[in-house]
Structures are given as structure tokens and as C-alpha cells.
Amino acid sequence: MDDVLITNIQRCSLHDGPGIRTTVFCKGCSLHCPWCSNPENLAATLEPYCKDGKDGVYGRWVSCDELFAEVMKDHQFYEQTAASSGAYAGMPGGVTFSGGEPLLQFDRLRSLLRRLRAEGIHVCVETCLFVPIDELEIAIENVNLFYIDIKILDKERCQRILGGDLEQYLDNLDRAFSVKKPVVFRVPVIGGYTDADDNMKKIIRLINQYPPLKVELLKEHSLGSSKYLSLGRTPLQLNTVTDDMMKQYRDRIVAETGLETEVCKI
């Protein structure tokens, strides 16, 4: 069976990798980050919702054949939009798997990944990396560029707040870098969760230990609030991280690592 549970396929995406991309949002995650902006992608099941007085269901099962047909609709734009400079120089557009945690479904996606590789389509994945090693190995075989989150690097807080095993994350990170795959680190800056000075110091040490192509800082936001409400949940109130704090964090990473660091616009 190669059916995959997704919530959305976003064509002509400009923020999920180099060039023009088609982003596939997979449903189901190994973590439960309180600030997640895609709460509809946390549970690996179909979920009923009510939004603006209308009922619906988050999630649908699609075959790898259906996904291949959809992502190939824009294949003529992928090579045409290759980056000419910066960290992505020479990398074309392509397909990005996001979520949730897409690696949890990479065994089901194996046939699609192989077809994309055979077609020469550039593949990115956005991952928290809290996944079984077997799923990571499938990604290593088929993915061209990894976006890897760095969130909470204290073992107890990582388990309590996120539901993640930090040792699993660190082991997977070591494996991903051992094969010399291009990596971009994404660091969500969330007031009261990831912005503590001790956590920032640990993140910078990790970045120095595993130098990526670049670092992206993601400022907390409330764009997912309506989706929480549609699921009958209360969204986290996020309003403590300022633009000035983001600039200071970026400057600190640049000063201590020498790496290209960007404060991303949502």
C-alpha cells in the first residue's frame, strides 16, 4: 500500500526551498509543539473541523501515482528557477515535503521518491528529525536538501514540552551530516520556550558542531489560530518576541558561527 495521508498540495511555493516548488503537506507528527502553526497536521488521522460555520475534514488519502501527477504539473518551472547566488546557488526548484513530520510516511512515499529521483526532480524535506532511523535512511537516499529544525536542546524540557527524545534527534542529526547532505537549520524563536539564553547558547554550539548551508530564524506568529479554533482547541498566545530581539539573535549567530543567517518573513 502506498497511499499517503496529506492535508494540502501547494503549487508555486517560494518559501520552501530554492526556486519555484510544489509543497506536499503530510499529516501526522512525532512531536506536539505548543506553538505549531499547522495543528491540523499533528494527528495521523482524518479530523473533522468546523470553520466559519462550515464543517469539513482535515486530511485525505492519496496514492503515490496521484501525487506524482500533481507535482509534475509544474516541472517545467523547476529547472528554470534555479538559484544563481547565495547558499542555494545552482539548486533548482522542485518538490518539498512538509508537515507535520513527512519522514514518518517516507516508507509509503518510497515509490514516489524513486520516480522523482529518476526524473531528476530536486527534493527537499522539512523535518524535526524525531523519527526512526529507518525513515531517515530513506530520506538520505532520496532527498537533495534537508531543512532541519532546532527547537529545545534540554533533554527534560524537550521530552516534557515537545514529546521528543533528544538523544534520537542528536543521533539522527549526526547521521544526516555524516553523509554530507546539504542542510539548512530552521530555528523557531518562541517566547518562553526556545528563547532562553541557555537554549540559545546550546543552539549556537550545535550549529558550530554541524555547520549548515545557512540558518533561518522563524519568529513566533499566530497565523494558525483559526485552525486551532476550528478543531475546538485554544491557540497559544504568542506576542513576546520582537523584531529587535530577532535581529540581535541573528547578529549573535553570525558573530559566533560566521554563517549566513536570515530572519525569515512569514
**Which DSSP string do the residues of 177-195 spell out, in sequence order?**
HHTT--EEEEEEE-TTTT-
Pinpoint the alpha helices (H) of the chain: 64-71, 75-80, 110-118, 133-142, 155-157, 166-178, 197-209, 225-230, 243-257
Range of the domain at 138: 4-264
Reported as a pLDDT band with limits 50, 70 and 90, residue 266 is low
Q: Is the model's pLDDT at 1 over the cut of 80?
A: no
The model's pLDDT over 185-239, given as tens digits with 9 standing for 90+, comes to 999 999 999 999 999 999 999 999 999 999 999 999 988 999 999 999 999 988 8
The model's pLDDT over 80-106, given as tens digits with 9 standing for 90+, comes to 888 878 889 999 999 999 999 999 999
pTM of the model: 0.96
Alpha-carbon Rg for the chain, nearest whole angstrom, is: 18
In this structure, are residues 25 and 9 in contact, taking their beta carbons and an 8 Å threshold? yes
User: Domain of 72: which CATH number?
Assistant: 3.20.20.70
Question: Distance of alpha carbon 66 from its chain centroid, rounded?
Answer: 22
Q: What is the distance between the alpha carbons of residues 112 and 177, in angstroms, rounded to a whole number?
A: 24
Domain total in the chain? 1
